[in-house]
Amino acid sequence: MANKRANGEGSINKYIVNGVQKGWRASISAGRDENGKLIRKQFYGKTQKEVKQKLENYKKDLSLGALPSDDKLTLEQWYYTWLFDYRIKDLKPKSFEKYEGIYRNYIKDTTLGKIKLKDLRATHIQQYYNKLLDDNKKPVSTIKGLNTRLKPCLAEAEKQGYIQKNYCKMVTLPKDNSTKEIKVLTPSQQKLFIEAIKGHNLEVLFLVALGTGLRLGELLGLKWSDIDFTNGTLTVNRTLQRVTEISRDGNRESKIIEQFPKTKNSIRTIPIPQNIISRLKDHKINQNKDKLKLGESYFNNDYVFCDNLGYPIDDKRPARNLKSILTKINIDPIKFHGLRHTYATRLFEANVPPKTVQVLMGHYDISITLDIYTHVMESTKIESVDKLNEIFAL
């Protein structure tokens, strides 16, 4: 008979081969491998007392951080177990997708991933990062992103006694000396763009983007119930995003989901320029015509921006259309997010205080707002010097 114990305490059984008892065996759970299969640590001895002592010594050493849970457990196996058993519960699908991408591209079947946890040291991680940077020419952002997602993995391994230290904290990350360029439309380019989109299927979406600074996911998740036509405001309550849901066995399914905004600061109420309010009213009238025409065939989910059948717009479509329109009018293309930066830039040019801009943009940290502010100052510093020349003119 086996001595039954609670999960994590292990169990002790008679060790029988071909119907003959050869001794005793103790077994304890040690996580799961990349295929989700349970990993067990086992101890053998001639007597029940002997294997019981081996099990207790192992558990004691484990609690002191002296041993990993399994001498054969690799970083690759642990990362996979940690991701699907621990992080999957508290990560948004898009974030989980990034963590899984780190596993697939930088942990699985790599020299770093094959290292046993008991042998892992900061040197292994540092050498791997250096190779990615120097030999594989990976950008600094990739190295930092890898370390950011590996760090909590090793934190849990340290917590459970698999390793003695979180070695991600002991590496030296490369410095990123590249300057982050923020591309926006100038006032004259903005006017040309507004003229060029007249009659376009996404005209109102582009106008709302320029007039409110909403992120693309916030725009696509906007519902008519979020718009207050009386007071001329809209409230950001959700985002709409296409994500890839990944199961433990590797199956991947693409779907569009509603979720809460990026941070609590992202939930905000924003004034809408009056001329855009009138365009939204016209847009609503046209959408109602589609509803009447299609009747029950219309997918009525109250979205402000959707196709003629009421279904969410493909999130890649606005960026593609933006690039095409700007190219046609001889303006260097910008990313869709550049319309958000353009909104912030217009606010700064109108001398709106940075703290107000932060609230309107939904930034959780004012330093993000000030990065854009610095960009605006770069474009206006020549004007400031000209004014100084006038002041100090002799």
pLDDT of residue 161: 77
pLDDT of residue 389: 55
**DSSP secondary structure code for residue 105 in this structure:** I
More confident residue, 365 or 378: 365
pLDDT of residue 5: 46
Q: What is the mean pLDDT of the chain?
A: 86
The band of 2, judged by pLDDT with boundaries at 50, 70 and 90, is very low
Interior/surface letters 85-103, b for 16+ CB within 10 angstroms, e for the rest? eebeeeeebeebeebbebb
The CA distance from 25 to 6, in Å, is 17
Q: Say yes or no: do domains 75-170 and 187-237+264-386 share a fold.
A: no
Work out the percent of the chain whose per-residue pLDDT is above 70.
86
Nearest CA to 241 out of 43, 34, 96 is that of 96
> For 17, phi and psi rounded to 5 degrees?
-125, 125
The string of pLDDT tens digits covering residues 49-79 is 888 887 886 676 555 444 444 577 899 999 9
Nearest CA to 258 out of 233, 227, 291, 236 is that of 236
pLDDT of 180 above 90: no
pLDDT of 7 above 50: no
pLDDT of residue 30: 64
Q: Where are the domains of the chain?
A: 11-63, 75-170, 187-237+264-386
The band of 103, judged by pLDDT with boundaries at 50, 70 and 90, is very high
Q: Which CATH number fits domain 75-170: 1.10.150.130, 2.60.40.10, 3.40.640.10, 1.10.150.120?
A: 1.10.150.130
- Residue 52 in contact with residue 43, Cβ under 8 Å? no
Range from 44-58, 101-115, 190-204, 352-366 carrying the lowest mean pLDDT: 44-58
CATH topology of domain 187-237+264-386: hpI Integrase; Chain A (1.10.443)
Which tokens sit at 6?
């609670």
Work out the average pLDDT over 76-105. 89
Q: Is 221 exposed, middle or buried (0-12, 13-18, 19+ CB in 10 A)?
A: buried
The CA distance from 335 to 194, in Å, is 16
More confident residue, 131 or 81: 131
pLDDT of residue 239: 94
